[in-house]
Amino acid sequence: MRAPDASVVMSASSIDAMLKDHGLENGSLYTRIDEAVTQGLITQKMADWAHRVRLDSNNPRHADTTTPHMADEDAKRAFDYAKALTEYLYLLPSRMPPKNP
């Protein structure tokens, strides 16, 4: 991967955008992730992973001196979660047959 820092930040941004698209617009990404669990939009385990991506994205954005740069594995993990969340929130529901009257 050529730019794991950017990839992790963009994965976190896409998670944020998806939560906002589902009506969770108030507060920080931290708040929106927890609210998604409260509303039943995602599970606690999904939230734990989202928080991991959120925290990882803070490292390059805030010049963390302990871990200033993300590794390829971090970027892959963040991307995999963003992709899974997309499938969970958008693709799977679109494949559900309509309810019978």
89 pLDDT exceeds 70?
A: yes
Instruction: Give pLDDT, residue 99.
Output: 83
Stretch 2-11: mean pLDDT: 94
Least Cα distance to 69 among 12, 11, 4 occurs for 4
- Retrieve residue 66's tokens: 């302990």
pTM over 0.85: yes
Q: In the chain, pLDDT over 70 holds for what percent of residues? A: 96
- Rounded mean pLDDT of the chain? 93
- Retrieve residue 63's tokens: 């010049």
Instruction: Give pLDDT, residue 64.
Output: 64
Do residues 57 and 9 touch, judged by C-beta distance below 8 A? yes
Instruction: Give pLDDT, residue 100.
Output: 79
Least Cα distance to 15 among 53, 41, 71, 45 occurs for 53
